[in-house]
Amino acid sequence: IWAWLCPSPSLLLGADVDAPETHSTELLQTRRAHFAAAQKNYYVNPPQIERGWREHLFDVHGRCYLDMVNNVSILGHGHPRLAAAAGRQWSLLNTNSRFHYSAVAEFSERLAALAPPGLDTVFLVNSGSEAVDLAIRLAWAHSGRRNILSLLEAYHGWTVASDAVSTSIADNPGALESRPDWVRPILSPNTYRGRFRGRNASEGYIAAAVEELARIDESGAGLAGFIAESPFGNAGGIPLPPGYLEAIYAMVRERGGLCIADEVQVGYGRLGHHFWGFEEQNVVPDIITIAKGMGNGQPLGAVITRREIADSLENEGYFFSSSGGSPVSCVVGMEVLDVMRDENLQANARDVGDHLKSRLMGLMDDFPIVGAIHGLGLYLGLEFVRDRESLEPATLETAAICNRLLDLGVIMQPTGDHLNVLKIKPPLCLSRESADYFVDMIQKVLSEGW
Ligand code: PLP
């Protein structure tokens, strides 16, 4: 009904509304007066967004943008069912999750049902960073050990522990020096521009992990766990080499550690072909972290694990989050799952994602700057290089392409260690028409001379 009532605003996309300045200077000044330099907005002059509808955003001048980078709003913007569900629950009650309240128990049950058998215990929090911090605390508590193995170039959050396992060099140049000693980074299995490529990449990366594991054993504090995303999100969705997680999970478990799958960014249906990222690697983690899309923008995150792992936290003290898993968050979370089912959004991510990827692959024939298209479903990465042999990253060009796309009504953002990858992660309701518009605009920009 929703889709039927509203004419597609993509008709307006890129329309040159009589508004040369898409931002408000006054608002920018206010923002700068009260925000720190680290609180970045990618664009120097960002459009002042006022409202959204499906995969579209509208600024204060009524100009329409295609939102290709927002993997928080998985259902799309302005969904009337979410507004109704949240409003209803607000008018009844919102309080902390300690109370015996039906939505909290029902939502936990539904999340457990989405996870592999045995992972039936759920902690509700407010964000992905909190979920990752809690997963690390669980690994420490359950194993009685300390070291956490993580992948270089990965991003897992901004809180103290999640930031420590995020050694994304582009995001945080000081990360390697300031990392606490319990973080044990291993080579990220980036099969596009990493040390090992091609058919034998798995063996090379597994051997690198074995070396680090040997050092951990000598250090005495033992191995508490291993955290990774699959596919490799920060690099734009590059799949991990076949058999990689299976081998690392086995080694980690042999040493008494737990395996954490960070599904905050790539999981929850976005990959289209599977609900969870780890499915692609045929592994079952001990702990899953989720957030972002599960609340469609409502602060909501979760950790799903096995009972005995969850219970080990009791020895450490206590878990309590004042508003994590509040009734409003849980009702919104359940409505997100209902809408995903009713609107077949995972299947849409698969079908539109496959179409989008094959159209993007077509650009490689005409534009040498397009080095590769990574990813699956609606988690894709468009990597720009100066030279396909040396893979020299086209960092400045990527920034310029992004800014030009904004002129044409497409919101994007560079990512990766070299900021040369456009990470494509639109709402899962992205239409084929919008996907085509996006590729047409990329084509137009690249034809202008890159
Ligand atoms: N883990 C991954 C893989 C992420 O991409 C992010 C956020 O970008 C986080 C954790 C942290 O989530 P949040 O920003 O909700 O704290």
Q: Atom 7 of ligand 1 has which residue's CA nearest to it?
A: 157
Instruction: Say if residues 245 and 252 touch (Cβ distance below 8 Å).
Output: no
Residue 15: its pLDDT value, please? 45
Q: Helix, strand or coil for residue 421?
A: strand
- Going from the Cα of 62 to the center of ligand 1, the distance in angstroms, rounded, reads 31
405 has a pLDDT exceeding 60: yes
Which is the closest atom of ligand 1 to the Cα of 301?
15
pLDDT over 70 for what percent of the chain? 92
List the structure tokens of 127: 């964000």
Phi/psi of residue 183, each to 5°? -90, 125
Residue 220: its pLDDT value, please? 75
Q: Atom 12 of ligand 1 has which residue's CA nearest to it?
A: 128
Cα–Cα nearest to 225, from 235, 216, 215:
216
Residue 34: its pLDDT value, please? 87
Q: Atom 13 of ligand 1 has which residue's CA nearest to it?
A: 128
- Going from the Cα of 443 to the center of ligand 1, the distance in angstroms, rounded, reads 31
Pairing mode of beta strands 287-290, 223-228:
unpaired
Residue type for 109, please? E
Which is the closest atom of ligand 1 to the Cα of 266?
3
Residue 170: its pLDDT value, please? 60
Which is the closest atom of ligand 1 to the Cα of 130?
16
pLDDT per position as a tens digit, 317-342: 778 899 999 999 999 999 999 999 99
Buried/exposed code over 326-353 (b: 16+ C-beta within 10 A; e: otherwise): bbbbbbbbbbbbebbeebebbebbbebb
- Going from the Cα of 153 to the center of ligand 1, the distance in angstroms, rounded, reads 14
Cα(377)–Cα(272) distance, integer angstroms: 5
Q: Helix, strand or coil for residue 39?
A: coil
Instruction: Say if residues 233 and 198 touch (Cβ distance below 8 Å).
Output: no
State the virtual CA torsion across 8, 10, 16, 19 in degrees, nearest 10.
70
User: Which protein residues touch ligand 1 with a CB less than 6 Å away?
Assistant: 127-129, 132, 155-157, 229, 233, 262, 264-265, 291-292
**Which of 124, 162, 292 to mutate to test ligand 1, by most ligand atoms within 8 A of the CB atom?**
292
Cα–Cα nearest to 326, from 359, 300, 297:
300
Residue 115: its pLDDT value, please? 98
State the virtual CA torsion across 367, 370, 371, 376 in degrees, nearest 10.
-130
Which is the closest atom of ligand 1 to the Cα of 157?
11
Which is the closest atom of ligand 1 to the Cα of 229?
3
pLDDT band at 27 (very low <50, low <70, confident <90, very high): confident
Q: What contacts 151, CB < 8 A, 6 or more positions away?
A: 167, 185, 186, 187, 188, 189, 227, 228, 229, 232
**Which of 71, 72, 155, 171 to mutate to test ligand 1, by most ligand atoms within 8 A of the CB atom?**
155
- Is the bond preceding residue 231 a cis peptide, omega within 30 degrees? yes
Cα–Cα nearest to 268, from 323, 190, 349:
349
**Which of 126, 151, 156, 288 to mutate to test ligand 1, by most ligand atoms within 8 A of the CB atom?**
156
pLDDT per position as a tens digit, 348-365: 999 999 999 999 999 999
DSSP 144-190: S--EEEEEBT----SSHHHHHT-B-TTT-TTHHHH--TTEEEE----
User: CB 49: neighbour CB atoms within 10 A?
Assistant: 17
Residue 9: its pLDDT value, please? 47
Predicted-assembly ipTM surpassing the 0.85 threshold = yes
| The residue to which tokens 């991510």 are assigned | 349
pLDDT per position as a tens digit, 103-136: 999 999 999 999 999 999 999 999 999 999 999 9
Which is the closest atom of ligand 1 to the Cα of 292?
15
Which is the closest atom of ligand 1 to the Cα of 128?
12
Q: What contacts 191, CB < 8 A, 6 or more positions away?
A: 197, 198, 201, 238, 239, 240, 241
Tell the burial category of 39 from Cβ atoms under 10 Å away from its Cβ (0-12, 13-18, 19+). exposed
- The predicted model scores a pTM of 0.94
